[in-house]
Chains A and B, each alone.
Chain A
Amino acid sequence: DGGITQSPKYLFRKEGQNVTLSCEQNLNHDAMYWYRQDPGQGLRLIYYSQIVNDFQKGDIAEGYSVSREKKESFPLTVTSAQKNPTAFYLCATQPRAENYGYTFGSGTRLTVV
């Protein structure tokens, strides 16, 4: 089955810790994206990557970091510099063309304890 796998489904972070959220895809899509979703707010773009070894900041990149060493993988690290990380995180992919839509993963819920 082709798709996007986000893991873990639930993640708990202690104050001062870095945590990494995984996003893996076997759709052979070029572009990958990370969004944050908070209650009552829309989706906010954190980082995106349109080709391997290249990525760009989105609207709320502070306190986050990413890498894109392989086409299939786009992990997101939430660093201790992110002061309010509790949220639902969504990974999305897209073929590298403007006339294709997005495909989303099932999300990771991160909670600070």
Chain B
Amino acid sequence: KQEVTQIPAALSVPEGENLVLNCSFTDSAIYNLQWFRQDPGKGLTSLLLIQSSQREQTSGRLNASLDKSSGRSTLYIAASQPGDSATYLCAVMNTGGGSYIPTFGRGTSLIVHP
């Protein structure tokens, strides 16, 4: 059974820092990996989707990498801003079974203070 772990669980940094959030998974037979952002009391907003054949995806100040062989993905946030404060979750979609249901990590709660 796939297990997804996100470290750290919480992070507090000053504005302007470059950040790395980690997501590790136990089963490398995946279709894709998706990073989400969740603001308090809101739904999840998709940030980046990396297919299993890709190594990375970029959107603005965000860059997500994928290393299937080591079971790792990182989300890099450049020049962090207070508006980046949120919980970041990763979700891994496994192959097999015919049901495209991802396994979610518990998230990293990020606070960027001015």
Tell which of A42, A50, A97, A98 touches B104, judged by Cβ atoms closer than 8 Å: A42
Pair B100/A98 contact, Cβ less than 8 Å:
yes
Q: Is A103 an interface residue (CB 8 A)?
A: yes
- With a cutoff of 8 Å between Cβ atoms, the chain A residues found around residue B102 in the complex are 102
Tell which of B41, B49, B51, B106 touches A42, judged by Cβ atoms closer than 8 Å: B106
Contact with A along B70-83 (1 / 0, CB 8 A): 00000000000000
Pair B31/A99 contact, Cβ less than 8 Å:
yes
Tell which of B41, B45, B93, B100 touches A104, judged by Cβ atoms closer than 8 Å: B45
Q: Is A85 an interface residue (CB 8 A)?
A: no
Which secondary structure characterizes the binding site on chain B?
strand
Q: How far is the CA of A34 from the CA of B79 in the complex (A)?
A: 35
Q: A102-B91, A104-B43, A104-B45 are in contact. Are A41 and B106 (CB under 8 A)?
A: yes
Contact with B along A86-100 (1 / 0, CB 8 A): 001010101011111
In B34-83, the 8 Å CB interface with A consists of 34, 36, 41-46, 49, 51
- With a cutoff of 8 Å between Cβ atoms, the chain B residues found around residue A109 in the complex are 41
Q: How far is the CA of A31 from the CA of B93 in the complex (A)?
A: 14
Pair B101/A90 contact, Cβ less than 8 Å:
no
- With a cutoff of 8 Å between Cβ atoms, the chain B residues found around residue A88 in the complex are 41
- With a cutoff of 8 Å between Cβ atoms, the chain B residues found around residue A90 in the complex are 43-44
Q: Top 3 A-B pairs ranked by shortest CB distance?
A: A104-B44, A101-B49, A104-B43
Residues of A that sit less than 8 Å from B by CB: 6, 31, 33, 41-43, 45, 48, 50, 56, 58, 88, 90, 92, 94, 96-107, 109
User: What are 21 A-to-B residue pairs whose CB atoms are below 8 Å?
Assistant: A6-B43, A42-B104, A42-B107, A45-B101, A50-B99, A88-B41, A90-B43, A92-B44, A98-B31, A98-B100, A99-B32, A101-B32, A101-B46, A101-B93, A102-B34, A102-B44, A102-B46, A102-B91, A103-B46, A104-B45, A107-B41
Other A-B pairs, 17, CB within 8 Å; known A100-B49, A101-B34: A42-B105, A42-B106, A43-B89, A45-B101, A48-B99, A56-B99, A88-B41, A94-B100, A98-B32, A99-B31, A99-B51, A101-B46, A102-B91, A103-B46, A104-B44, A104-B45, A106-B42
